[in-house]
Amino acid sequence: MSSDEGLRRSAITLALAGGVEYGLQLAIPIILVRYLDATAFGQYRLLWLLAGTALAIAPAFMPQSLFYFLPRTEPGQKRLIISNVLVYLIVAGVVVGAAASGWNPLLPETARSLFIQTYGISALFLALWVVASMLDVLPTADGRVRWQANVTIGVALIRTFLLAGAALTTADIAWVAFAMLMVAGLKIALLIYYANTNGEGVKLAWQIATLKKLLAYSLPFALGNALFLIRIQADQWVVASMLSTAQYATFSIAAVFLPVATLVRQPVYNAMMPRLNSAHARGEYAEIARLIANKRRHSASSDTSCRRFACHCSGTGEYYIHQPVSAGCNHHAGLSDRHDDECFRCWARAAFT
């Protein structure tokens, strides 16, 4: 199999897995909105907003640094690289969990209320979710694309069943948060399994020199990545801090469509990075130029499709936000405290049916 054919297959495999995951991710709010009231659904969306912000900052691009270091590292040294990244993520997860706890005086009131109503599960979930983020990168960086795709689809299916089951049987945000905690625990279990069955095994250990090398590489990317992701989330934080949780629930539904561009672009990027760094390590600069040219061609094609999709969704979102949300509703979405729940359900019914 040629290098181009292998890259194409890897990108298609990751794209298909990402498509399935995104479809299931889109299905979850469609299901939950029918069984949770406006406040509980808003708290669910707020928990995911907290998770997105935590992942934008806390991992510091350390998991993605594996794309650079693993292809350049001798087989016997891979365990040390993976272990240092894992140790860093554990420390970062502990910090995130403490910051999201109700004892943090700087925590927004909506997040504090979420912590109380989930009995602290929200903070524990965020801590584990930061550590579990390594599973989203490690198999691909290690060259096991099919394993990555299978895990992505499997975890997405289990997450959908658990969250839908919790909402259907209890309609309680605490149980929904517990289902999310179970998903985070599953990802960590899979991460431990993979790390100990990839030929070398991993023991928790860290080395200052290796950690410095990892941070020196990842921090510049971490800063740019964090600024980009926080810019995307900034409008949601403004709404979440100024309006009630029920009103935020209505606004947050539109955010479900934001990952479309990433869904198309990221598989190509992930499939290319190990090959790009292997070529760089061998000094094959002509191969690097060819791979980058191929990526630009794929990105240009995907950007056109994303713009069309975004224009369609943007027009629909504006209609539902600024107009009466359906023929049977005389309220306006998120503008009346008296009718929060009625408007939310009417808006969601119009948006999802």
**Whose structure tokens read 């009630």?**
244
Please, which pLDDT band fits residue 8 given cuts at 50, 70 and 90?
A: confident
| Contact yes or no for 234/275 (Cβ under 8 A) | no
Task: Please report, rounded to a whole number, the percentage of residues in the chain having pLDDT higher than 70.
Answer: 77
**Whose structure tokens read 């992505």?**
152
| Contact yes or no for 117/102 (Cβ under 8 A) | no
> Which residue would you say has higher pLDDT here, 267 or 172?
172
Output the pLDDT for position 200. 61
What mean pLDDT is predicted for residues 75-103? Answer: 91
Output the pLDDT for position 168. 94
> Which residue would you say has higher pLDDT here, 72 or 124?
124
What mean pLDDT is predicted for residues 13-39? Answer: 89
- pLDDT tens, position by position, 221-245: 999 989 988 887 888 888 888 888 8
Inform me whether the pLDDT recorded for 202 exceeds 80: no
Task: Return d(Cα 258, Cα 252) in angstroms, integer.
Answer: 11
Output the pLDDT for position 352. 45
* One-letter amino acid for residue 287 of the chain: E
DSSP H/E element including 275: helix 260-282
Inform me whether the pLDDT recorded for 341 exceeds 70: no
| Contact yes or no for 249/46 (Cβ under 8 A) | no
Q: What is the DSSP letter of 337?
A: S
DSSP H/E element including 215: helix 208-242
Q: Which of 52-66, 152-166, 316-330 has the lowest mean pLDDT?
A: 316-330
CB atoms within 10 A of CB 28: 20
